Amino acid sequence: MGLAKEHRPVKLIVGMFTGQEELLDTARGELAEVYGAVDHVSPTWPFDFTTYYAEEFGGHLLRQFISFSQLIDPARLPEIKLFTNKLEQTLAEGGKRRINLDPGYIDLSKLVLATTKNHQHRIYLGQGIYGEVTLRFTRQSFRPWEWTYPDYRTDHYLQFFNQVRETYLEQLKQHPD
């Protein structure tokens, strides 16, 4: 029989995309007020892998990822997703979102994203939020699954997530547990 134990803390990340670059800075600042200092900021990349969001956000979307210095309990992911949804609404204009915020976390073996959408490969976390293992860490890098979004498969995303994982690994070495 296995014994239940608490999960080690994980590294919070948030993916953001918008058609208005200044909103990336605004959202990053709002998130840092709640979750602490940001320790990694990806370059701003074109988000042109889908037209799914074109009606809501317009064209020429920009994508950026951030991670936070303070490690979190992974059980907080639903609460964090609800907060980012609320922040999206706060930054909306005329009832339309202007920025999309996708929180998740990195641990040693995977990258998990929070979502409000159920699907066969997602598990219910509570509070109307589901979790998806979007990437797995194997053979010294993050790697996609068959359901991984096309942009999360790109080399520059994977390189960024690998860098964040390296920082996380160093943080774990310093963590008292």
Residue-range domain boundaries for the chain:
10-174
State the DSSP H helix or E strand holding residue 34, giving kind and residue range, or none if neither.
helix 22-35
Confidence category of residue 177, pLDDT binned at 50, 70, 90: low
Fold of the domain built from segment(s) 10-174: Alpha-Beta Plaits (3.30.70)
Q: List, for residues 107-163, the tens digit of each pLDDT value.
A: 999 999 999 999 999 999 999 999 999 999 999 999 999 999 999 999 999 999 999
pLDDT reading at 176 higher than 70? no
Give me the pLDDT at residue 1, please: 87
Question: Strand pairing partners for 45?
Answer: 63
In our burial notation (b when 16+ CB lie closer than 10 A, e otherwise), range 83-95 reads: bbbebbeebeeee
